[in-house]
Amino acid sequence: MNTFPGPDTPRYASVRNTNDENRCDTGDGPLGRRGGNGRMLLVPSRSPILTRRRVLAGGASLALFAATTATSVACGTAPPPPDLDELTTALDRARADSRLATDVAASARGPVAAALTEVAAERAAHAEALDEEIVRMTGHSATTTSVTTTPTTSPTSSTVPPSPTAEDVIGALRVSADSAAQAAAALSGYRAGLLASISAACTAAFSVALTPIGGTR
């Protein structure tokens, strides 16, 4: 019995397109593109784009690295040289002696003023030599402290201190000579010689230059 196709029955069988089976994949792969023969073609990747944001981020990283490095160097600062205390003490005494001799010379006359002025200049030269050595050791001047010289004369009033005299200068030079001699014995090399020469100069000042003025001590 012959059947006739209805309205929903296809008159012709669908013909499969054989070109679909032979079609080559030309899509992009993870490493490149496929050519017409099916082989993978290597395609160079694009260079990274340098944006303003990347430049700023890189600059911030470099700044942070520099700050961290500077902090590490500062935290690793070496301790001060062991001879620094002796030189700083001698420097304090030299400056104090120079100021004291200058103050006493301002109220003196004649040979007394001349001798005290010479002592003040000599002690100022000692201070300069000591400061130069400290700068050579540490790279900067030392932070000195004020040395107070106690007058040897008794005060006449409880409120007004007496003016310093040549006797006070002699006493200060004697202490400075002893201190420099002890420091020289503990040091070596140039610094020991420097303090030894300062001790000798102080001794000569109070025993020769000022003793006739202040009296024998």
The yes or no reply on domain 84-144+163-214 and CATH 1.20.1260.10 is yes
Exposure string of 168-206, with b = 16+ CB inside 10 Å and e = fewer, is bbbbbbbbbbebbbebbeebeeebbebbbebbebbbebb
Q: Phi and psi for 33 in degrees, rounded to 5?
A: -120, 155
Which pLDDT score is estimated for 204?
A: 95
pLDDT for 148 equals 53
Can you give the residue ranges of every domain in the chain? 84-144+163-214
Per-residue pLDDT of the chain (217 residues; tens, 9 = 90+): 555 555 555 554 444 544 444 444 445 555 455 555 555 555 555 555 556 566 555 555 655 555 555 554 445 566 767 789 999 999 999 999 999 999 999 999 999 999 999 999 999 999 999 999 999 998 888 775 655 555 555 555 556 778 899 999 999 999 999 999 999 999 999 999 999 999 999 999 999 888 766 554 4
- Where are the extended beta strands (E) located within 139-210? none
Against a cut of 0.95, is the pTM above it? Answer: no
Residue type, 155: P
